[in-house]
Structure 1
């Protein structure tokens, strides 16, 4: 039998995910729904659901709203086994039990995101996110905050929370503190909706890598540039090769999406988009604008 578990779910809306997760809790488990303020729509809703408790994190200062919410949730959680999750994907009935089973075999575990676009730009970038956000997380043993399970003894919680309140990326920092085993199990996460929203997300994704793994950013820039040059110089061969590569990644992670056919133009557009993302001084996430000066220097602009 799994030990008592605290599930942390940051959200400000009355998401159906709350009931999805609450329905999977054991009698001794708890679901902490973490919002920003007492006026958020979810603030007086989650308490109506059994084994669910609302935590009001307050406005972030010197960190992202997500990092602030996770820090507040970690401090409020009453159990040693912790799960982080998000409200932007479906949690099937065996989701929590599957994480428990995997933890008993591997220790700290994380599932993988597969990002599905909802606007023209995010649809075009699906192959890029499959390579970086799915394959990259899997091969580099990174944690994904959408579905990660660990215990307090698996990391230095006090030091982690101190740094979490000074940065943007919750899972980017967690990956530095936690030895995690990514499971070859993906969750479909819909992103975008407008081109502007996709640009802001792309800036954030790119800057997370640049602040946490600067060497990886340099390597990624060189590889992407060389691959784009190959695509331009030998378009027929390159189109076939990159499409086969991306199609293989999709198949390896059980994702059936026609967007694998967009691999060639996605590689070409990634070069200017990466330069744009690294050159941006601010980005918007969750309704707030941030200026990320360095890994532990974050300014909440508005």
Structure 2
């Protein structure tokens, strides 16, 4: 199999995945250019190849890296993953066994905040992002395995080089079984990052799943109205609801008690995400005019 890991720096995930490769497997570190810090490492485990994707034009940096990695990969079975969460020693072997049983498979992220705003929004990320992926058999680009024959690869790569969201697009080309294993993914670190993330996610829903963003916004308004009119009942209900969501996801976090105040931030952030003209992702600013109309501003 070929494991695609978009990253510009060497993280723990690089070493974790390298130790899990079988003799015929390969790990493709998909980065931007030869000046990236990840290429400065003098020694690295066998089975690793560095793929310089170049600067993105008309798509996100991650979409560009994934496209370059798929074109360079030597095998038909592909794994997409991210560099920001822990991959236990049996991760690849378990994932492969899942594929043999179910066909294309994916896992679930649980986003844990590293700054006050991201921490406040944890319950809503769990209920609005992680839970639907689990219950709806949807794809998380940080952990998905499929084979080239499972998609129309030529059409997919053409579209991937003209859009922002790798997994949002893959959902339109591939049906998976979400095996429900949850991976803890730290996010944020600064308030700026915490604000930019929901902008990007809102625009992904806007262009790929417009019905979902409309429903999410309407439901959020109704919940917000209930929180204003009956705050005690709303606080109790939302806390219990998010404790239940965490149980389904197999995660126990005290931040479930923040569900009530988070509602008052969520609606303005969704609205802000819909009207915002640009957003920043991994150091680049993008203007997303349409699903396949993207400008890299800087």
TM-score (norm 1): 0.97
The match for 1:65 among 41, 61, 68 is 61
- In 2, Cα distance between the equivalents of 1:46 and 1:110? 33
What residue number does 1:198 align with? 194
TM-superposed CA distance for 1:44, in Å, is: 4.1
What residue number does 1:238 align with? 234
The match for 1:225 among 221, 227, 247 is 221
Contact 1:46/1:54 (8 A) holds in 2: no
Give the stretch that moved more between structures: 290-299 or 141-150: 141-150
TM-superposed CA distance for 1:47, in Å, is: 6.8
- In 1, Cα distance between the equivalents of 2:202 and 2:160? 19
Aligned positions of 1:63-212 closer than 5 A:
63-212=59-208
Q: Partner of 2:37: helix, strand, or coil? A: coil
What residue number does 2:210 align with? 214
- In 2, Cα distance between the equivalents of 1:159 and 1:111? 25
Deviation digits for residues 190-216 of structure 1 (CA, Å, limit 9, x no counterpart): 000011011011100111111100011
- In 2, Cα distance between the equivalents of 1:150 and 1:75? 15
Q: Partner of 2:203: helix, strand, or coil? A: helix
- In 1, Cα distance between the equivalents of 2:42 and 2:296? 28
| Equivalent pairs, count | 298
What residue number does 2:21 align with? 25
Q: Does 1:268 align with 2:268?
A: no
- In 1, Cα distance between the equivalents of 2:128 and 2:178? 14
TM-superposed CA distance for 1:141, in Å, is: 2.1
Deviation digits for residues 88-137 of structure 1 (CA, Å, limit 9, x no counterpart): 00000011111111111111000000000000100000011001221021
Which runs of 5 or more structure 1 residues have no equivalent in the other structure?
Answer: none
Aligned positions of 1:46-57 closer than 5 A:
48-57=44-53
Which runs of 5 or more structure 2 residues have no equivalent in the other structure?
Answer: none
What residue number does 1:39 align with? 35
- The alignment's C-alpha RMSD in Å is 1.0
Q: Does 1:286 align with 2:282?
A: yes
- Sort the Cα spacing of 1:47 and 1:132 in 2 relative to 1 into closer, same or farther, 3 A: farther
Give the stretch that moved more between structures: 200-209 or 133-142: 133-142
What residue number does 1:277 align with? 273
- In 2, Cα distance between the equivalents of 1:38 and 1:126? 36
Q: Partner of 2:39: helix, strand, or coil? A: coil
The match for 1:6 among 2, 6, 18 is 2
Contact 1:46/1:52 (8 A) holds in 2: no
Contact 1:12/1:40 (8 A) holds in 2: yes
Contact 1:67/1:170 (8 A) holds in 2: yes
Give the stretch that moved more between structures: 137-146 or 38-47: 38-47
TM-superposed CA distance for 1:46, in Å, is: 7.9
- Sort the Cα spacing of 1:218 and 1:294 in 2 relative to 1 into closer, same or farther, 3 A: same
